[in-house]
Amino acid sequence: MTRTEEQVELAAIVRSLLDRRADSASVRTAMTSESGFDEALWQTLCEIGVTDPDLTLAETCVVLEELGRSLVPTPLLPTAIAASALIADRDPDHLLPRIAAGEIATIATPEHVLFGAQAQIVIAYVDGHLTQVEETPSKVAAMDPTTQLATLDLDVDPLPDHVRDVALVLTAALQVGGLQRALDDTVAYSLQRVQFGRPIGSFQALKHRMADLLVELELARSAMLHAVDGLVDGSADAPERSAVAAAYCTEAFNHAAGEMIQLHGGIAITWEHDAHLVFKRAHALGALWGQPHTHRARLAL
């Protein structure tokens, strides 16, 4: 899948906005705020149309990849998953216009509710039916301060296959963006850090490790885009493509986050450096919808 001219332009618009309003200091301010995200930035993103139900899955993934690259906490992932479920269910409660206007939506699972405490719209599958939930989810502590979690005191169903596959692919887009961030920061550091009179990026062993990360990034992006194509086209193997993207992107992002810490040396274990945010984001996203081996198991069925 090659990005269209419109998608390239969308990515440029979002990246320009995030470069101005989602630097490291802004991300840290947002994640430690009462809401857990930058509400003003969220409204700006909504104004440029990132929650418009007419936005295609491919375009949403373009936005999420840029958000993943910046590490900025936003409720777009749960909102997009909820919108996809409502579209598939023909939106009987007419919630999509509220989402398009900027209201945060989320969909509950038996394990968690992403951005549940911040959401104005909470939906869930109960006894096989998609329904709006009136109960307010309770915020819980999360390992990743940029990924807000909550629980719901209500028995809800697991996500049906068609919604789960969308969730896997949207999450994979965030993971690809995070992997890009890990590689970019690591390469930049390797060109600045001098050891034995030379930038460490000039050492062959480190070149090989960063080249391996680049290969993993491109494979992860290809797997994600292939899965997007499958869902958009309604391909018979779309579930398998989604499972491959979920498994590969999770493992690649986890590996890149670990390599980022190692190749940054001692500074990467400090709170002041963003490497720990990349590491926490990688492991948090990888735990949302099941571990890689559970996705690979679907391929053997």
Q: Where are the domains of the chain?
A: 5-151, 161-299
Tell me the CATH architecture of domain 161-299.
Up-down Bundle (1.20)
Q: How far apart are CA 95 and CA 92, in angstroms?
A: 8
Is the confidence at residue 286, as pLDDT, over 90?
A: yes
How do residues 119-165 score in pLDDT, each as one tens digit?
999 999 999 999 999 999 999 999 999 999 999 999 999 999 999 99
Q: How far apart are CA 282 and CA 176, in angstroms?
A: 10
Q: How far apart are CA 252 and CA 282, in angstroms?
A: 9
Q: How far apart are CA 197 and CA 200, in angstroms?
A: 9
pLDDT at 1: 66
User: Encoding tokens for residue 217?
Assistant: 């990034």
Mean pLDDT in residue range 256-276: 90
How do residues 25-44 score in pLDDT, each as one tens digit?
999 999 999 999 999 999 99
Angle, alpha carbons 243-126-120 (nearest 5°): 85
Residue type, 11: A
- Give me the residues paired with residue 139 across strands: 150
Indicate if 161-299 has the same CATH topology as 5-151: no
Question: CB of 71 within 8 A of CB of 281?
Answer: yes
Mean pLDDT in residue range 204-228: 96
Is the confidence at residue 20, as pLDDT, over 90?
A: yes
How do residues 33-83 score in pLDDT, each as one tens digit?
999 999 999 999 999 999 998 899 999 999 999 999 999 999 999 999 999
CATH number of the domain at 5-151, out of 3.30.910.20, 1.10.540.10, 2.40.50.100, 3.30.70.1350? 1.10.540.10
User: Encoding tokens for residue 293?
Assistant: 């081996």
Q: How far apart are CA 166 and CA 254, in angstroms?
A: 21
Q: Mean pLDDT score of the chain, rounded to an integer? A: 95
Q: What is the pTM of this model?
A: 0.96
Percent of the chain with pLDDT over 90: 89
